[in-house]
Amino acid sequence: MIRSLICVLLVIAMTSLIYCKAKVKTTLPPGDHNNGGLLLPGGFEAVVVADSIGYARHLTVNNNGDIYVKLTHNDAMKGRGGTVALRDADHDGKADIIAYFGDYKDEGGLPAGITIHDGYLYTSTVKYIMRNKLTPGELIPTSKTEIIFSDVDSNLFRHWHSHKQMAFDDKGNMFVPFGAPDDGGQDIHTAGPAGMPGGKGVDPSPDLEKYAGIWRFSASRTGQTQKDGYKYATGIRSVLGLAWNQTDNSLYAVMNGMDNFHTRYPKIYSPWQAAVLPSEPLLKVREHADFGWPYAYYDQLQGKNVMQPAYGGDGKIVGRAAAFDKPVMGFPGHWAPMDLLFYQGDQFPERYKKGAFVAFHGSTDRSPYPQAGYIVCFVPFENGKLTGDWEVFADGFTVVDTVFNTRDAVYRPMGLAEGPDGSLYISESNKGKIWRVMYKGDKDKFGKTDLAFMEGRKSRTYIKTPDEIKDNLGKGGEMEGLILYQSYCATCHQRDGRGDNSRYPPLAGSEWVTGDRQRLIRILLQGLQGEIQVNGRTYNGVMPAHGAFLDDHAIASILTFIQSAYNKVHTPIASDEVTKVRAAMAASAK
């Protein structure tokens, strides 16, 4: 497990001897001239601590200021290790020492958990939760690794919500979410994790026995598995942002909601409804709480729980959804909340102790509307009840004004952590950039004027509620295309797009896919039969017509997906292109 890889010069040892004796400076370093690209409320500054350290996920800060960052994959870091340790030895705000360690891998999933609790560095992979005792002054832990938890689920690497985030109370308990193995209660053995269009949910859902909830474990006992834990709450689809609020001694979580309502249920949800629904809710997680997944979801527009269509819902029916717990509030759909932090320090204005910071990674499946999220916000509330609307706290991550494909966003906020002096640290996952946010204004005078600029940011296309007509960009979406491809195309062309090596040709590396776009659209609309040549080989199968049961956006989405996923062509096919080809075909048939 975690065994230090010597990835840094011997200066670490020398610095450690000095560092463990020195007090952490209370003088704040200067912010970067442009706050490292961040836009913040009045009186706040930011400095870039480190850049390009790898695909960063969550982070934590020790009481001496050392920063530990979890990376996406060990193999992506070329064997240097799955965790990064950062130290600002001269206190100028910039990391002077960057050390990689940890010889573990995260096969089949994305890690999330890293935190310091009771003098230990807790680190999780998809399969394990581990801890190492931290020695004062020591940057890379050299203590023996203790395995606190092991996930022995045989399906662990077959589903996409297997993150192991952690939160701790003051009674020796550790809380861990177990994400749902599918999107909305579909039978993943027949539909795949993304589900099928129009699919029915399994009722009662067998997923709720081992998944879609939060379990409580001992924070210090080694060798635990899920059967050693206590099921604390249920009906929670997927959680990466989990935190214990010391103010009201309660557990809170931000949940990632279901996706692609229009793709699966086009007769119930319009593309606009699917872009903004269902909510990504902030939950106060009490013992025995049930938030309704997969049977129901929270609709922030209506302010209530409603039945999920896979279980008989039509977007309005409440039914048994009324019995489920309601969230503190509901964020817009698909913003992908990644981390949650309750501020405890004294550096920021006092108002920030009454509420929570939330980091949003940003959506992937809002097309044909702009993708949204990509900010850090603040939610003012006390005792689980809102005291005001959510606020944009940190912006500027996208760099661009409109995000159509997720890859358009330059940075994607990921992790939040508080430093010993009350600074707020933010990590992002695209390039591995770490910011330190500091307050240098007059705390007693902080107010509406300082927040006004950030309130104006809510008009950005990646933050505002899109206009159903004006903000429709009319391009195919890759996430929708993935689901539709798995439903209508993968049987013949296979899930990897390489064909069956017999009757059905490959889509990967095919000129039929990367060539004439109108020809490609016609093939999907009207089908194709007869001999064709693909990559020097002759195929003579039958491609059925899909135009009669798929609308123009669905056709555009499938073709956008196969061009991007299998051929690295990242120019989306527009719905209008499909409309024109369909009209031309109809005219020629007369």
Token match 């003088």: residue?
Answer: 27
Residue 1 clears pLDDT 80, i.e. is over it: no
Residue 171 clears pLDDT 70, i.e. is over it: yes
Same domain membership, residue 495 and residue 447: no
CA distance 176 to 225: 11
Same domain membership, residue 498 and residue 383: no
Residue 118 clears pLDDT 60, i.e. is over it: yes
For 249, which DSSP code?
Answer: T
Give the pLDDT mean for 328-348: 97
pLDDT digits 0-9 by tens, 178-236: 999 888 886 544 444 444 566 788 899 999 999 999 999 999 999 999 999 999 999 99
Residue 296 clears pLDDT 50, i.e. is over it: yes
What is residue 20's predicted lDDT score, i.e. its pLDDT?
44
pLDDT above 90 coverage of the chain, percent: 76
In a domain, 255, yes or no: yes
Number of structural domains, the chain? 2
In a domain, 1, yes or no: no
Same domain membership, residue 407 and residue 545: no
What is residue 183's predicted lDDT score, i.e. its pLDDT?
87
Residue 25 clears pLDDT 60, i.e. is over it: no
Same domain membership, residue 557 and residue 429: no
Sheet holding 114-117, edge to edge: 114-117, 120-124, 128-133, 146-150
Residue 307 pairs in a beta bridge with: 296
Give the pLDDT mean for 548-555: 91
Give the pLDDT mean for 364-373: 94
Same domain membership, residue 439 and residue 510: no
Whole-prediction pTM value?
0.90
Task: Work out the pLDDT band at 372, boundaries 50, 70, 90.
Answer: very high
What is residue 74's predicted lDDT score, i.e. its pLDDT?
53
Residue 108 clears pLDDT 80, i.e. is over it: no
Pick the last residue of a domain from 407, 438, 459.
459
In a domain, 492, yes or no: yes
Task: Work out the pLDDT band at 458, boundaries 50, 70, 90.
Answer: very high
Same domain membership, residue 97 and residue 223: yes
Same domain membership, residue 408 and residue 261: yes
Domain that holds residue 62: 11-459
What is residue 123's predicted lDDT score, i.e. its pLDDT?
94
Residue 75 clears pLDDT 70, i.e. is over it: no
Write the single-letter amino acid at 524.
L
Same domain membership, residue 523 and residue 430: no
Q: Is 267 exposed, middle or buried (0-12, 13-18, 19+ CB in 10 A)?
A: exposed
Residue 378 pairs in a beta bridge with: 357, 391
What is residue 570's predicted lDDT score, i.e. its pLDDT?
86
Six-digit token pair at 99?
A: 């050390």
Same domain membership, residue 445 and residue 492: no
Q: Write the CB contacts of 490 (distance below 8 Å, at least 6 apart in sequence).
A: none
In a domain, 17, yes or no: yes
What is residue 200's predicted lDDT score, i.e. its pLDDT?
81
Instruction: State whether residue 418 is helix, strand or coil.
Output: strand
What is residue 193's predicted lDDT score, i.e. its pLDDT?
43
Query: Among 96-110, 134-148, 233-247, 558-572, where is mean pLDDT lowest?
Result: 96-110
Mean pLDDT of the chain: 90
The distance between the two most distant Cα atoms of the chain, rounded to a whole number of Å, is 87
Same domain membership, residue 518 and residue 451: no
